[in-house]
Amino acid sequence: MEFIDVIKNRYSCRDFSDKQVEPELLEKIVNAGGIAPVGMGSYENFYMVAIAKSETVERIRQAIIDNEGDDRTYGAQAYVLVYSDAINDNPHYKTSLQTVGCLMDHMSLAATELGVDSLYLHGCFHRLAESNSTNLDFLDVPENFQVVCALGIGYAKEAHESLGDVKSKIEYKII
């Protein structure tokens, strides 16, 4: 697939099927995040956890349902949680948020190129971590790292149409 077609085919899936994501595809998706550009080259400020074991996925999904009132993961069959230790009062906080955006974009585009659907999950994971940090403690993440967001991964129940030849949704000018 041409890169521009990958961009046009990427979308936020909000209705995943029960089909499991193949481990080799999940590995490629996570690796794509791990080679994304990182502000100031500070790769040590980030950590990722890929979760594909169905019982672990369900444990996290249930914690989110208990915290949110519904399934904000839309049935994703795997998650990649992205952590940072450059948070809140850290002088590199804003740069870390921009970096996380790069990691997420790389992973979602890699997923699309591999025929896997994805969804950027921020609020439900962020609130889960804030409301009761013990919900994610079993993942054994290095000390001082906090979850920033996650990528939900799986296969859509129904096929998604490409955007085709669409113009930018953001107004711009070239000078």
Residue 164 vs residues 108, 111, 149, 168, 171: alpha-carbon distances, Å: 18, 19, 29, 12, 19
Tokens (6 digits) for 53 = 């074991």
In a domain, 170, yes or no: no
Please give the backbone phi and psi of residue 136, each rounded to the nearest 5 degrees, phi first: -115, 0
CA distances in angstroms from 140 to 47, 49, 76, 91, 143, listed in the order given:
11, 10, 22, 26, 9
Which ranges constitute the DSSP H helices of the chain? Answer: 3-9, 23-34, 54-68, 93-113, 123-131
Backbone angles phi, psi at 169, to 5 degrees: -85, -10
Rounded to two decimals, the pTM is 0.91
Task: Look at the chain and report how many structural domains it folds into.
Answer: 1
Query: Which one has a higher pLDDT value, 36 or 129?
Result: 36
Domain that holds residue 70: 16-154
Q: How far is CA 32 from CA 13, 90, 127, 152, in A?
A: 19, 26, 26, 15
Which of 18-32, 107-121, 129-143, 151-165 bottoms out in mean pLDDT, i.e. has the lowest? Answer: 129-143
CB 149 within 8 A of CB 121: yes
User: Within a domain: residue 74?
Assistant: yes
The domain that holds 31 is classified in CATH as 3.40.109.10
Predicted pLDDT at 167:
80
- Token pair, residue 156, equals 């859509």
Residues 123, 126, 130, 135, CA torsion sign: positive
Look at residue 161 and tell me if it is in a domain.
Answer: no
With a pLDDT cut of 90, the percent of the chain lying above it is: 62
Domain membership flag for residue 166: no
Q: Is residue 71 part of a domain?
A: yes
**172: in domain:** no
List pLDDT tens digits, range 76-110: 999 999 999 877 667 777 788 889 999 999 999 99
Q: Classify residue 115: in a domain, yes or no.
A: yes
- 169 within a domain of the structure (yes/no): no
